[in-house]
Amino acid sequence: MIPINQESNEEILRSILEEKLEYLTKDVIILMDADRTLCNIDTSRILTDMAKIDFSKIKKGFQKHGYTYNGFQNMALTYSQLSVEEYLKYSEETASQVNLYPGVINCINNARDFADIIIVTSGVKCIWDFVLKKTDINEVFLIGGTHTKIDNYIIGREEKGIITDFFNDIGKVTIAFGDSDVDSLMLKNANHAIIVLNHRNNADLLPHLFYHPSLFQITYKDYFHENIRKIKYHSFCYDLKRHNVL
């Protein structure tokens, strides 16, 4: 069951991170948002349309609460109106429509040589479980939660920041990928932040990162942000070495 308040949620999240520490042996932690960071679509919206869920219920929750625990709790409760069987079915069908950005798989496979990789999603975790399976991406830790009968915690903006701080506090080097305001604390708190250009040109994210000391961007568009260093997924490791990050 998803916790009733943010404090309980954070406690559960920290305990899960502590349990995983024995498997996270590298000095570098890479934290990657999922929707519109690893692919160009919002997978949650696809599931919502497929399941005929009224998305306005989720949108109104965020309009009322912002990207806070209450906003994401409302989203989880809305998705939890689906039975577990329906939720799994629609998640798998949605995953079948996901095409990762070119170079993402290569980036993850190469980065595993020096980093532990965690995908941190505020969307539907189950979709990304199926995406990872269909793309044969292994040895990646997936964090997220959006159904009360399957998940026992929620990931929102605050939680993404907490995850980054957790690894910073134990001396890990953190590299974070994201595209929107929901990722702002994760990127702001990371040692190295990588913006992936999205359909809104990251308008809600950029103001949080003006003074970040180590900022990069990945773009598949003609447009790019001035004065932010450009790297590519397929040459991620080489690019970071070139910029003296690794």
How confident is the model over 181-209, as pLDDT tens digits? 999 999 999 999 999 999 999 999 999 99
CB-facing half-sphere around the CA of 35: CA atoms within 13 A = 22
| Superfamily (CATH) of domain 6-44+96-242 | HAD superfamily/HAD-like (3.40.50.1000)
Q: Backbone phi, then psi, for 47, in 5-degree steps?
A: -60, -40
Q: Where are the beta strands (DSSP E) in 53-201?
A: 115-120, 140-143, 173-178, 192-196
Q: Tens of pLDDT along 120-168?
A: 999 999 999 999 999 999 899 999 999 999 999 999 999 999 999 999 9
Closest by CA to 174, choosing from 23, 34, 45, 32, is 32
94-122, pLDDT tens digit by residue?
999 999 999 999 999 999 999 999 999 99
The reported pTM is: 0.97
pLDDT at 25 over 90: yes
